[in-house]
Amino acid sequence: MQAPIILASSSPFRKALLERLNLPFECHAPEIEESRQAGESAGAYVCRLAEQKARAISSQFPEAVVIGSDQCALLGDQILGKPSGPENALKQLKAAQGETVIFHTGLCVMQASSAFSEIDDILCEVKFRRLSDQQLNHYLQVEQPYQCAGSFKSEEYGAVLFDHQRGDDPTALIGLPLIRLVSMLENAGITVI
């Protein structure tokens, strides 16, 4: 019998992605502090948060294989977090016009009872289109991506914002890199196929 699987997230998008693997799982939202530490790189930041999310749930369910994930967007050397409102979202989207934004998705799979843990940072580059303020405001009204890194949801209407994307795993941009996740789950003893 396989260990239970828990997704340490309340994100409906991550839940929908994990459902694609046809594995039974539960979702539990971890309570962690998500502030970035001074001098922390984008990759280190998302990996630390993914691990903290997985560890918080793993401590409650030590037999479960727990999946933690977190994401941020990097524009030049500036980390774009969740904008929390329309004004900051518009600033983020205006700054990204014509630029390449690198999305870092931290992924951690952990099982406390076996001391199993794997962590990775999966990258996806997105080249943004140049759009007018009117177009950007229309996007924000339709999408309201105020809880998304970089004010951007590729799984919804956000595809209108970019010219192209580049990366090894298209699901990484949505926030749960399934290609890497499958190998991590198999390493944790979960039969995926």
Give the contacts of 23 (CB within 8 A, at least 6 positions apart).
Answer: 5, 185, 190, 192
Nearest to 11 by CA among 82, 65, 79, 75: 82
Is 70 tagged catalytic? yes
Longest dimension (CA), the chain: 55
CA distance 20 to 169: 14
Q: Chain centroid to CA 112: how far?
A: 22
CA distance 27 to 16: 11
DSSP secondary structure letter of residue 82: -
Q: Which of 70, 120, 121, 169 is catalytic?
A: 70
Return the active site residues. Answer: 70
